[in-house]
Amino acid sequence: MATDHIRYDVLARDALRGVLRRVLSDAAAHGLPGEHHFFITFVSKAEGVKLSPRLLAQYPEEMTIILQHQFWDLVVTEDRFEVGLSFGGIPERLVVPFHAIKSFFDPSVQFGLQFEPSEAIAETPASPKLPAAPAPAALAPAPVAAASAADDQPEPPAPSGEGAEVVRLDRFRKK
């Protein structure tokens, strides 16, 4: 087999991350249109990810967040996004580099992207963690769980010693 000197796999991955960056940039500038909302799964300990120690203890391997109704201060840069979310009524600020993202799914249109782990996802246990950020006064904090949707009953979270929670995306598809 011939050697791929062009690295089409890297080019394709970067292009798909560009789609994700563009979608999040549009959401930051204009809000979410229609019924669109996003499930974003990322590696919790990837280089550059910033979570509070509380969230890192609860989601030590990977975490899925939902950007739908209750999020604020979404900022998108070339290499990451930052967002305010509420977890169990406690406002938090998350920083997620695009290289840490494992999957993106918009159930309103059944569109999803899945990314292979890359060399850039090096675990950094000593990475700086962010303290809880205050929620804007206009938003009443509501829990955002890793596997909840507005119309579905949320499943109880996994005990903290069992690792990441597995989310079946089939349950969010229209039947």
Amino acid 55: pLDDT: 96
- Give the domain ranges of the chain: 8-150
Amino acid 175: pLDDT: 55
CATH 1.10.3720.10 fits 8-150, yes or no: no
Residue with the two structure tokens 């120690």: 53
Encoded amino acid at 126, one letter:
A
Within 8 A by CB and 6+ apart from 95, the residues are: 48, 49, 50, 80, 81, 82, 130
Q: Provide block-wise average pLDDT over 10 residues at a time, the chain (175 residues).
A: 88 93 95 94 96 95 94 96 94 96 96 77 46 42 37 41 52 57
Amino acid 146: pLDDT: 40
CA dihedral over 43, 47, 52, 56, signed as positive or negative: positive
Amino acid 69: pLDDT: 87
Q: What's the residue count for the chain?
A: 175
Amino acid 137: pLDDT: 39
Kindly tell me the burial class for residue 81, based on how many C-beta atoms sit within 10 Å of its own C-beta (0-12, 13-18, 19 or more). buried
